[in-house]
Amino acid sequence: MIAPSIGFIGFGEAAFAMSSGLLEEKKITSIFAYDINSDHPLYGAMIRERAAALGIPLTASLKELCENTTHLFCTASAKVAEMIAENIQPFLHTDHCYIDMNAASPMTMERVAARIAETGASFIDAAVMDTVPLKKHKVPIYVSGSKALGFAEEANGWGMNVTFIGETPGSSSAIKMFRSIFMKGVSALLLETLHASRIYGVEETVLASLNESITARPLQETADLLLPRTAIHAERRVAEMSEVMATLGMLGIDATMSEAVKAKLQWLADQRIREQWNGQPPKSYDQLLTMLKGEEKKES
């Protein structure tokens, strides 16, 4: 069995932190890196200093990186994920495992997977689910792909924290992307909510009320409670959000999130769930989602 040798494509903050953790674990002793900016007048010095601090050789090309490694972690940027896959394709072979950690769309991952598959190398769609500099190589990573289960077992043996999601490339990235809708959305909603609340000096009371509503039950139960009722009361809530927006306007506060909430509620009202179900809410968020896909008729 070939001893694993890791190569990082892009040696920024994430690659540096992961390398540091893996070397500390002492189960991986061979790490190389390639960064197109290693000689950049502004960024090159930091890249070279980081590599030198860990004793990691910087290769002059992707070809050289592939010649010295078995596992290639792409930690560059989503916008160049496909270009890197195209550029590295001639140098990959069946002994390589290509792990794309860029925060790209599921569709991008599917295209990268198809390109890597042409070389005979294994492809792993890897979604990083927390902050790498803080947790280093132990950052939670979700992986998918036809060889992802084997990779997860191997990487966990190196001390990593890898969870197998499924055999379809793009599944891991889909989880990260759709989770981001909620996490980034909540941050923006909190900002708009507390910004307005501060003007009346009620932000602590508002936070306490939100905490009681959100933490009173598991999130799945909250989804089952909120979403079906929102579906049948969407039209009334559109009107309520118009009042919210008018209030924020008078206070001089940006209402971007409130506008988005109103637009989403209007879309939901236009689905006519209330009429389909004679004013009764669906039994669960799952039933609502099935209805929105057009797979279920109203109950008789």
Full set of structural domains in the chain with CATH? 6-171 (3.40.50.720), 217-300 (no CATH)
Q: Which residues contact 263 (CB under 8 A, 6 or more apart)?
A: none
Question: Where do we find the tokens 């939100």?
Answer: 210
| Other beta carbons within 10 Å of 99 | 25
Instruction: Indicate whether 252 pLDDT > 50.
Output: yes
pLDDT score of 3: 75
Dist CA 144 CA 169 (whole Å): 5
**To the nearest whole percent, how much of the chain has pLDDT over 70?**
97
pLDDT score of 293: 83
Nearest to 245 by CA among 188, 192, 300, 191: 192
pLDDT score of 1: 53
Q: What is the pLDDT of residues 124-166, one digit of tens each?
A: 999 999 999 999 999 999 999 999 999 999 999 999 999 999 9
Q: What is the pLDDT of residues 221-244, one digit of tens each?
A: 999 999 999 999 999 999 999 999
pLDDT score of 295: 55
Hey, what are 189's tokens? 């909603």
Dist CA 269 CA 233 (whole Å): 8
Q: 122-128 and 6-9 as β-strands: parallel, antiparallel, unpaired?
A: unpaired
Q: What is the pLDDT of residues 109-122, one digit of tens each?
A: 999 999 999 999 99
pLDDT score of 299: 44
Handedness of CA 206, 212, 215, 221 (dihedral sign): negative
Instruction: Indicate whether 88 pLDDT > 80.
Output: yes
Dist CA 105 CA 87 (whole Å): 20
Instruction: Indicate whether 276 pLDDT > 90.
Output: no
